[in-house]
Structure formats: C-alpha cells, structure tokens
C-alpha cells in the first residue's frame, strides 16, 4: 500500500462547505472545497511545506472508508485529515521496530542470565532458602551445595569438614610423653613385616625381625599361641606391635588387622610364616630388586638343598636375579614355554608372599573371612598384579631363604589351648585346610558364573 510524504497542517479555520457524497470520492470533495475557499485560506491556513500547493489526496490507509462518515464539523474533519496521515505512517513504522527491538532485548537479557548464573553463584554467597535446590543431610540443617555433591567422601565422614577427615591410618607407634623425642621424628617407615609366631620358634623369629628392623620396617607379630610375655627379654619387643589370638592362622590375623586403609602408608607388605632362615636374605636389597623389576607380587626363592619345596617355581636358581616361570616336561601338571597359567607362571606361594600396596588392597578382598588357612587363593592372586601377571609376579633368586617346613599349627612345635595329641591335631589341621580349599574353589566358580559384569582377562590366554 503506497505511503505519500505530504503533510497538511491547519491552524484556526478550515473550509466549512466540505460535504460528503456517495457519488464523489473523498479526494474530489476535498479538491472542490479548497478551490472555493482560496481567498480565505490566505489568512487562516499555513502551509509548512511548499509541496502542499499541489493537490493533496488522502490515500486509502485509514481503517475503512466510513471512518469519516459521521464527521459533521468541517473543521474537525479537516484537522483529522491533516493529522491522521503522518500519525499512521509513524505508528506503523515504529510499532514494527519497537516490537523487534523488544524481542531482541528480552532474549538477550534471558540468555545472559541463564549463562551467567552458574558463574555468579560460584562467587557469591547466596543465602539458602526453602526453595533452594541444595540437598539436605541428616537433621535437615546441614547442607551440601551442588558443587560438592560429586566429591568422593568416605561413608560416615560427610558431617565433617573435609580438611579434618583422616581417611587412613598406620601402625607406627607414637611417643606417649615427649613429642620432641628424636625417635618420634625419625623417617617414616615405608614397608611392613607381619609375621605369625609361636614362642617355640623364638630364635628363628628373633633373627628375622632383627633384620627387618635394621632396614627401617614396621613389624607386627601375630601370636597364635597366646604367649606374649616370654618375648619381653628381646631388645626389640617394645618396638613392635603384638597381637594375640589363640589357635588362629596368619590369614585370620591379616584379614582383621591389615585392612588396606590401615596399611595404606606402606609401599610393601611382607606377610610371612615363622619357620624360615634368612642368612642369605637382606630386606633392603630385596626391595631394590622388586622395584627395579616392577614386581607387585613376589617372594624370595627357596634354598633347594635345605627347604621343603612344594612347587618347583619357588626353587632357587643360581646365577639368576629373578625368574617368573618354570618348565616341567614330564609327569603331571606339565609346564611348557607357552604355558600362561599358574603355577607355571605368574605365581607365588602363600608361605612368604610380598605385596605392593596396590596388590595388597586387591588381595585383601580375596581373603575369605571364614576360610582361615587361605588355601587356594594363591592360584588367583595373579589377578591382583597391576598389569600382566607374567611380568609383575615373580620369584627373587638374588635374595633367598630356607623354608624349614615345621608343623607349627597343630603339630609338636605348637602349644595350643587343648590337650589333643599333637600328631592327631596336625592331621585335623591339614584336613581342615584341604576342605577350605575345596570350599574356596566352589565359591570362585559360583562367583564367576553369577557376576555377569566381571570380565576374566586371562580366560582367552589359558
């Protein structure tokens, strides 16, 4: 629809003989009236633009042709005609611009608020109200912001500020009185020896513990015969931790007193039997080799001539530092070059195992709370190796020991709580150990079948 640029303004008077007619257009009526009143318009009308001297025709931009039908007053009609044309032009144009500007500004403000709100919230302390989305804990008065929801906090510690939470512990003994004691400020021990001991093996245990203490180890002694006082004459008796429980095994103690969070401060854990000779063994040199070879689970080799050897992979090899497999080409349970499963490769015996911190955290969960002899778990320990068990499980030949193979539990070297004949008692202990191994194997098989999410990383290699 065309829009003209002419603007007509009036002051005091307008023609009075303007009439409406159904036969004449509005433009024609307006033109006739203007010619009839030329002489009067000199004094009563002013024109603001020279272009007004030409004929002016009001276009059909008004809302309907009958818009002026009821205008009986000529002056009012003339004024309406002169003002409506510029008004509609401005209104039509500004409405569109205003609407577009309003929409753009509104969307911009909303977008800035939506995107900037998280940044503002992180830097401004906003009082918590009833409409806050912050989760309520315990009594309903303690709150945790959305920023803290994903923090990994030990169960039960959520009520404390994080800086005060002590997540782990250790077995280092602290001074009771003088905190400035030099011993209290000695270098923190990095490894732990946990050893099962009966008083009848006192001499053997004394030599073992002395060597480990000289290398800065923390030592915990598991007294399975209930006798503690008879160790007090040894110089180190007050420097080690004593735990006593009658007729309990090394793995019973380990499950209950060597939780990974308790021993997490130690890089390596030695969980040893007592019937050992350590004349050719040095704990410091052993750890150096283990670290160099990248062994997460290991054991010292056993002297071939003096030791009771149950699995040939544990036997000492001359002129060797470490070995990880062995070969058996005759008889049952053969081991070849391409064998990939224990005990041919990636295997240590439970007599003198050594675990890295990470490996022990894994192995602790494998130890069954009620199967105290631990038989059978040695064949699954390779899963706890941090990587390929063919590489990170091994036997150290450079530092070796003698395994005497004494019947310490239930035998003549054990002073138990009952009056059972030592010979018969030992048979019962062996029988219980074997039965527990069968139970463990069954549990393992059932666990593998029942856990649909578990992936056996060695299944395809066997």
Q: pTM for the full model?
A: 0.65
Average pLDDT, the chain: 77
Q: What is the DSSP letter of 364?
A: H
- Split at pLDDT 50, 70, 90, the class of 363 is very high
- How would CATH label the architecture of 190-461? Alpha-Beta Complex (3.90)
- CA 448 to CA 458: how far, in whole Å? 13
Paired tokens of 311: 């699995």
Per residue, the 3-state secondary structure of 283-298, as one string, reads HHHHHHHHHHHCCCEE
pLDDT tens readout for residues 218-234: 999 999 999 999 999 99
- Split at pLDDT 50, 70, 90, the class of 130 is very low
Among 22-26, 277-281, 326-330, 405-409, which range has the highest average pLDDT? 277-281
On the 0-12 / 13-18 / 19+ scale of CB atoms within 10 A, 32 is middle
Of the candidate ranges 43-57, 183-197, 351-365, the one whose mean pLDDT is the lowest: 43-57
Of the candidate ranges 145-154, 203-212, 391-400, the one whose mean pLDDT is the lowest: 145-154
- Split at pLDDT 50, 70, 90, the class of 386 is confident
pLDDT tens readout for residues 196-212: 999 999 999 999 999 99
What per-residue confidence (pLDDT) applies to 282? 97
CA count, 13 A, side-chain hemisphere, 114: 6
- CA 190 to CA 5: how far, in whole Å? 95
> Comparing C-alpha atoms, which of 315, 304, 313 is closest to residue 382?
313
- Split at pLDDT 50, 70, 90, the class of 106 is confident
Please state the rounded mean pLDDT for residues 13-28.
Answer: 46
- What b/e string do you get for 114-134 counting C-beta neighbours within 10 Å, with b at 16 or more? eeeeeeeeeeeeeeeeeeeee
Q: What is the DSSP letter of 325?
A: B
Residue extents of the structural domains in the chain: 1-127, 190-461
- Split at pLDDT 50, 70, 90, the class of 171 is confident
Peptide bond into 343 cis (omega under 30): yes
- Give the phi and the psi of residue 103 in degrees, each rounded to 5: -65, -45
Is beta strand 191-197 parallel, antiparallel or unpaired with respect to 218-223? Answer: parallel
> Comparing C-alpha atoms, which of 363, 202, 398 is closest to residue 286?
398
Does position 58 have pLDDT exceeding 70, yes or no?
A: no
- CA 99 to CA 106: how far, in whole Å? 11
CB 298 within 8 A of CB 354: yes
- Split at pLDDT 50, 70, 90, the class of 28 is low
What per-residue confidence (pLDDT) applies to 69? 45
- What b/e string do you get for 339-355 counting C-beta neighbours within 10 Å, with b at 16 or more? bbbbbbbbbbbbbbbbb
Among 83-92, 123-132, 371-380, which range has the highest average pLDDT? 371-380
């Amino acid at each position: 629809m065309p829009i003209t640029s002419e603007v007509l303004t009036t002051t005091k008077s307008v023609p009075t003989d303007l009439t409406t007619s159904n036969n004449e257009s509005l433009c024609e009526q307006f033109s006739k009236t203007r010619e009839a009143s030329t002489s009067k318009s000199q004094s009563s009308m002013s024109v603001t633009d020279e272009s007004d001297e030409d004929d002016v025709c009001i276009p059909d931009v008004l809302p309907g042709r009958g818009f002026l039908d009821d205008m009986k007053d000529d002056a009012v009609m003339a004024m309406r005609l002169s003002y409506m044309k510029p008004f509609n032009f401005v209104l039509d144009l500004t409405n569109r611009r205003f609407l577009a500007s309003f929409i753009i500004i509104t969307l911009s403000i909303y977008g800035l608020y939506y995107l900037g709100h998280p940044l503002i919230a992180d830097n401004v302390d906003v009082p918590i109200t009833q409409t806050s989305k912050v989760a309520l804990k315990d009594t309903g008065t303690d709150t945790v912001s959305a920023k803290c929801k994903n923090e990994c906090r030990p169960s039960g510690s959520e009520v404390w500020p994080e800086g005060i939470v002590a997540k782990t512990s250790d077995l280092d003994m602290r001074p009771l009185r003088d905190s400035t004691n030099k011993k209290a400020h000695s270098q923190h021990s990095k490894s732990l020896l946990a050893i099962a001991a009966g008083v009848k093996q006192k001499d053997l245990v004394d030599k073992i513990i002395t060597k480990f203490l000289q290398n800065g180890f923390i030592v915990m002694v598991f007294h399975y015969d209930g006798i503690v006082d008879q160790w007090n004459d040894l110089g180190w008796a007050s420097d080690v931790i004593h735990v006593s429980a009658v007729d309990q095994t090394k793995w019973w103690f380990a499950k209950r007193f060597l939780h990974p969070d308790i021993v997490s401060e130690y890089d390596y854990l030695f969980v040893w039997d007592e019937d050992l000779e350590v004349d050719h063994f040095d704990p410091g040199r052993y750890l150096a080799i283990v670290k160099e070879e990248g062994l997460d689970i290991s054991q010292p080799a056993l002297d071939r001539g003096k030791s009771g050897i149950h699995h040939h992979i544990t036997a000492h090899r001359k002129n060797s530092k470490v070995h990880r497999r062995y070969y058996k080409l005759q008889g049952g349970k053969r081991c070849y070059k391409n064998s990939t499963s224990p005990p041919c490769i990636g295997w240590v015996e439970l007599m003198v195992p050594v675990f890295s911190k990470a490996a022990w955290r894994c192995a602790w969960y494998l130890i069954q709370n009620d199967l105290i002899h631990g038989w059978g778990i040695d064949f699954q320990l390779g899963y706890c190796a941090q990587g390929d068990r063919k590489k990170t499980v091994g036997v150290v030949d450079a530092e070796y020991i003698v395994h005497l193979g004494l019947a310490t539990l239930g035998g003549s070297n054990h002073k138990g709580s009952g009056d059972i004949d030592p010979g018969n008692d030992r048979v019962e202990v062996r029988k219980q150990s074997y039965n527990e191994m069968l139970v463990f194997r069954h549990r393992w098989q059932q666990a593998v079948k029942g856990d649909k999410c578990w992936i056996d990383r060695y299944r395809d290699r066997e």
